[in-house]
């Protein structure tokens, strides 16, 4: 205890540490001004904060990395121009890494993988890719079981074996499982780097995490096959332990072995004798950039989505304006939500999130052809209630479920898109209504957004 307290006193008396803490405090102030508490309370962010001290492995003398400051400034400018919190998060991250390098030495590229896993951008990417991956995993698991001689049927994300239906839900390929796998892998690699006193280049760090991602997909696939094969439903006490065991055995343990091997073969020794001297010019420029980035935090508008204005009409139904740029249409048979998506780079809350927030679960999700278009369809279950829902993306001219297609169209034309979600009691009613909406019953006059 005495030694730890003495080390703390020595640290607080080090002018370099005091200066670093002062400029870091400004970045923290900017982040607190820009982000609501809910924005920074996600599991991946909190776990990332715990892992961060283990990842900050410095090597070589202190340096002024102009590229990092340039990226931080550019992202701050984009955040200021378009009120995008994700850009500001990344701006703070690059500014933080640049400061560490000025005061303590060059940072291992592993820190950027940690930032990526902590960031809201990671959440959006998983939201975009998670659903099609789930459908692919369902199909792959069904084929594996058929190859093993079992009589199974596959319908979207539902696998039926001997009359028992199993749904591949977001827990089987969800945000938390993938985020935790990536963050644990960051910790594993950082621990190995410190143990062997080595660093890795960005190429090998990226190669490691690409492999971890593939291992995580494999762990999910094994979990699905095991759950169906042994008929372990969500209500079974072994449901969660089997998922955790799959993650550890098929992802984390192989990642630990890979980390040890790749650091031993490709790691470079850390320069322990480097002198860390903070140049006055570098400190002045760093302070200017930090003050600029911090100032942008006070300009971020947390309610930007509420200002989105799309003129939306549904024949024979009256619109009710809701928060966050959403329009609601309803009658005795149908419930329709049309939600504006601010920019081509923005994330959106699909029905997978919104309905679950209302207590519903998805029993079945698939793609359905309606006329010349393809839409997502699913069954919502809440107690004895069963609703049928469909959704797609539209700007009034283009209707698609392809994330990359609508984002590219929005980027190219400057017209923002909306998420359209239709819900009703029966599948026939749903498909008929969707067809009428796609044929012209739904009118969207999209506002122009960013066009680059």
The pTM of the full predicted model, rounded to 2 decimals, is 0.71
Query: Under a CB-based contact definition with an 8 Å cutoff, are residues 274 and 61 in contact?
Result: yes
Per-residue pLDDT of the chain (452 residues; tens, 9 = 90+): 444 434 433 444 566 677 788 888 899 899 888 887 766 777 778 888 888 888 887 776 777 888 999 999 999 998 888 777 888 999 999 999 998 888 887 888 888 888 888 887 777 677 666 667 777 888 888 888 888 888 888 876 678 787 777 766 554 554 557 778 888 899 999 999 989 888 888 899 999 999 998 998 888 888 888 888 887 776 777 777 887 888 889 899 999 999 999 999 998 887 665 555 556 777 788 888 889 999 998 888 655 554 455 677 787 787 777 666 678 888 888 999 888 887 666 666 667 666 765 667 777 788 899 988 999 998 988 888 899 999 999 988 889 988 888 888 887 777 778 889 999 999 999 999 999 999 888 887 765 443 33
- Is the sign of the CA dihedral 102, 105, 109, 110 positive or negative? negative
- 3-class SS at 198? strand
Query: Among 181, 207, 189, which Cα is nearest to 264's?
Result: 189
Q: What does the CA dihedral 264, 268, 270, 274 come to, rounded to 10 degrees?
A: 170
Q: What does the CA dihedral 137, 141, 142, 147 come to, rounded to 10 degrees?
A: 140
Q: Determine the Cα–Cα distance for residues 125 and 175; give it in Å rounded to an integer.
A: 9
DSSP run (H or E) holding 219:
helix 202-229
CA distances from residue 119 to 74, 124, 165, 212 in whole angstroms, order as listed:
17, 9, 35, 18
Q: Determine the Cα–Cα distance for residues 195 and 110; give it in Å rounded to an integer.
A: 15
Q: Determine the Cα–Cα distance for residues 348 and 443; give it in Å rounded to an integer.
A: 20
For residue 383, the Cα-to-chain-centroid distance in whole angstroms is: 30
């Amino acid at each position: 205890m005495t030694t730890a307290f003495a080390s703390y006193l020595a640290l607080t008396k080090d002018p370099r540490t005091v200066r670093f803490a002062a400029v870091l405090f400004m970045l923290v102030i900017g982040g607190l001004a820009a982000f609501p508490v809910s924005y920074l309370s996600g599991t991946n962010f909190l776990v990332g904060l715990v892992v961060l001290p283990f990842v900050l492995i410095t090597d070589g003398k202190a340096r002024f990395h102009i590229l990092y400051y340039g990226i931080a400034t550019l992202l701050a400018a984009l955040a200021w121009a378009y009120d995008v919190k994700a850009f500001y998060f990344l701006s703070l991250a690059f500014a933080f890494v640049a400061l560490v390098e000025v005061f303590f030495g060059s940072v291992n590229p592993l820190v950027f993988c940690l930032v990526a896993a902590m960031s809201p951008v990671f959440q959006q990417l998983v939201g975009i890719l998670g659903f099609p991956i789930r459908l692919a995993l369902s199909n792959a698991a069904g084929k594996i079981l058929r190859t093993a001689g079992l009589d199974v049927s596959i319908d979207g994300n539902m696998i039926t074996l001997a009359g028992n239906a199993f749904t591949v839900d977001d827990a089987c390929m969800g945000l938390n499982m993938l985020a935790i796998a990536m963050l644990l892998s960051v910790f594993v690699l950082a621990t190995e780097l410190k143990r062997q006193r080595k660093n890795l280049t960005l190429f090998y760090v990226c190669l490691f995490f690409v492999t971890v991602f593939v291992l995580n997909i494999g762990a999910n696939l094994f979990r699905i096959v095991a759950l169906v094969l042994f008929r372990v439903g969500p209500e079974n006490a072994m449901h969660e332990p089997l998922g955790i065991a799959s993650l550890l055995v098929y992802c984390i343990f192989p990642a630990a072995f890979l980390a040890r091997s790749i650091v031993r073969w490709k790691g470079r020794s850390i320069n322990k004798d480097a002198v860390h001297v903070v140049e006055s010019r570098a400190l002045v420029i760093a302070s200017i950039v930090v003050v600029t980035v911090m100032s942008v935090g006070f300009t971020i508008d947390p309610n930007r989505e509420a200002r989105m204005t799309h003129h939306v009409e549904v024949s024979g139904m009256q619109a009710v304006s809701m928060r966050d740029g959403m329009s609601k249409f309803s009658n005795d048979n149908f419930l329709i939500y049309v939600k504006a998506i601010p920019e081509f780079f923005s994330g959106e809350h699909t029905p997978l999130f919104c309905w679950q927030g209302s207590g519903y679960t998805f029993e079945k999700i698939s793609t359905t052809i309606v006329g010349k278009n393809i839409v997502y369809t699913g069954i919502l279950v809440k107690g004895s209630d069963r609703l049928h829902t469909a959704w797609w993306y539209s700007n009034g001219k283009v209707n698609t479920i392809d994330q990359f297609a609508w984002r590219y169209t929005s980027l190219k034309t400057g017209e923002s898109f909306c998420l359209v979600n239709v819900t009703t009691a029966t599948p026939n009613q749903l498909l008929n209504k969707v067809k009428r909406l796609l044929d012209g019953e739904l009118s969207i006059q999209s506002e122009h957004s960013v066009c680059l």
